[in-house]
Amino acid sequence: MKNNTDTLTPRETIVLREVTSGKKTRDIAGHFGVTPERIRAIRRKAEKKVNKRKAVNELAGNEKKLYMLPVGVVFSTRTSNRLVGAKLKKVGDLREKSDHELLKLPGLGTKGIREINNFFTEHQLDRTLPENQSLKEKVTVFLCDTIGREKNFGKGKARMIAELTVKTGLVTEASFEKLLRAETKSP
C-alpha cells in the first residue's frame, strides 16, 4: 500500500506535464482558474514528491542505506515533524521503537504508525519490536489500529479498554495471539 503523500494528485500531474512541455505558468493558471503563484506552489510540491520517491527508489534493496535516510525524505510532513521533534531523525531510529512507544509521541496517531509500518513492509525492512512489550501495550495498539480505522477512536479510549480487558482477564497472552492470527488470515 502506497502512502497518499507519495502519490501525485491529478492536478499536480497535469501541472508538471504542462510545465515540462513548455507551457507558460500564466496559461496553466488560466486553465485552472488560479493565480500563477498557486501554479508555482503546486509545481514545487509535485517536484518535491517526485524527488522523494526517486531518492527512496534509488536505495531500494540496500537495507543499510535505507536505515540511514532522514525521516523527512520518507514520511509525510506531519509524521516526520513529530518524529524529528522526538529526536528520531533517521529511519533506523524507528527500528527498535514499538508501536505503543510511537503512539505516546504527541501528535503521532494511528495514521502515522500505519505510514511507518507500510514503509518498513514495502521495503522489506526488519522492524524488530521489543519482546518485552506488555500485553496491555499490544492490546492498545491493536485496538487503535483496527477500531480506529472505522471510527473516531482515540488513543485514550484504547488504553482504557486495553487496561480493563487485561485487568479483568478477558484477554490473555494466548487468546490475544490467537486473535492476531485470525485477524491476519481474514481478507
C-alpha cell read off for 180:
492476531
User: Which pLDDT band holds residue 1 (cuts at 50, 70, 90)?
Assistant: very low
- Among 12-21, 112-121, 125-134, the range with the most confident prediction by mean pLDDT is 12-21
- Going by C-beta distance under 8 Å and a sequence separation of 6 or more, which residues neighbour residue 179? 142, 171
In this prediction, residue 157 carries a pLDDT of: 64
CA distance 21 to 15: 10
Say what the pLDDT of residue 43 is.
92
User: Residue 6: which of 77, 64, 107, 67 has the closest Cα?
Assistant: 77
> Which cell numbers in the block locate residue 156?
485514550
Residue 57 identity: N
pLDDT in tens, 171-186: 776 776 666 666 555 5
